[in-house]
Amino acid sequence: MTKPTLVVALGGNALLRRGEPLEADVQRINIASAVKAIAALTADWNVVLVHGNGPQVGLLALQNSDYKQVKPYPLDILVAETQGMIGYMLQQELQNALPEISIVTMLTQVEVNSKDPAFLMPTKYIGPVYDKVEADVLSIEKGWEFKNDGDYIRRVVPSPKPLNIIESASIKQLISHGSLVICAGGGGIPVVRKDKKLLGVEAVIDKDLSAAFLAEQINADALLILTDADAVYINWGTDKQMALSNAQPEQLEKMEFDAGSMGPKINAACEFVNATKGKVGIGCLADGSQILKGLKGTLITEKPVAKKNNIKL
């Protein structure tokens, strides 16, 4: 029997946790743990993996800007670099864990609108964490913008919405041949069309929005968003804070979530469920195989599947 298709969106912070040094050895250790959870999913699903790159692309941008002898590489090229770097590490670990499955990493371009208002209002967190003094200095020296990310301060860049995944036909073909495809890493390499040609632009697309868009394009049955939070919470940071086990798009769309973290995940989940009637799980990596069963994390569906912790409006 053919397995259903699952798109898994793996957060960049699952590969490099907050406050950890931006080193290859640290990422390899985290990736080895992530692969155990992803490999377990292949027992029931055809898995397509999309990964984040926030810490990694931010580090490359920092290294890039400090090399004064040459003009800095733009963000689209840095995103391509992270697709190769992170994809390589994920592909190697997955191949070691799943020697019977073909693992393929694909450089993936994602088309965006050059007039997307996101270019005027940066919200996407990238790079390491800073204290206020460091952020103020970098803001003056490099012209970067910063925002609070929980207890931290991080750089933010434009994050336009995905319009088209250029390599979607090739991804479908690989899936049909039984490959586990790692694609749209870091949300995809951001490109625009000008005079019928593709050109890279200065942005980082949110990987959750790209994962949901990809899931629609390849007719996936479910979307799993793995992050460093164990569930979606309402009334976060108050004495009424509560984790949701199940929610519906029409409920979530009436609520506000941080535009740089949980907001895009909720938007991606709602778009996928509304478009496909499929289901979306959001939760932490360790709970991966249980989230879509409604046992852990938050399950977002067209209709309620459980009474516990449903949103009451």
**Which DSSP letter does residue 3 get?**
P
> Taking the CB of residue 276, how many other CB atoms lie within 10 A of it?
18
164: annotated active-site residue: no
Comparing CA positions, the residue from 92, 81, 34 lying closest to residue 58 is: 81
105 has which bridge partners? 182
Burial 10-46 (b: 16+ CB within 10 A, else e): bbbbbbbeeeeebeeeebeebbeebbebbbebbeebb
Active-site choice (11, 124, 283, 296): 124
As given in the structure block, the two tokens for residue 48 are 């397509």
Nearest-angstrom CA–CA distance, 135 and 129: 9
188: annotated active-site residue: no
Q: Which DSSP string do the residues of 188-212 spell out, in sequence order?
A: -EEEEEETTEEEE-S----HHHHHH
Nearest-angstrom CA–CA distance, 300 and 302: 7
207: annotated active-site residue: yes
Active-site choice (12, 54, 87, 186): 12
Active-site choice (11, 13, 46, 278): 13
110 has which bridge partners? 165, 190
Active-site choice (161, 265, 279, 296): 265
124: annotated active-site residue: yes
309: annotated active-site residue: no
Q: Which DSSP string do the residues of 261-276 spell out, in sequence order?
A: THHHHHHHHHHHHHHH
Comparing CA positions, the residue from 133, 156, 274, 269 lying closest to residue 204 is: 156
Active-site choice (161, 207, 279, 296): 207
Q: What residues are labeled active site?
A: 12-13, 124, 207, 265
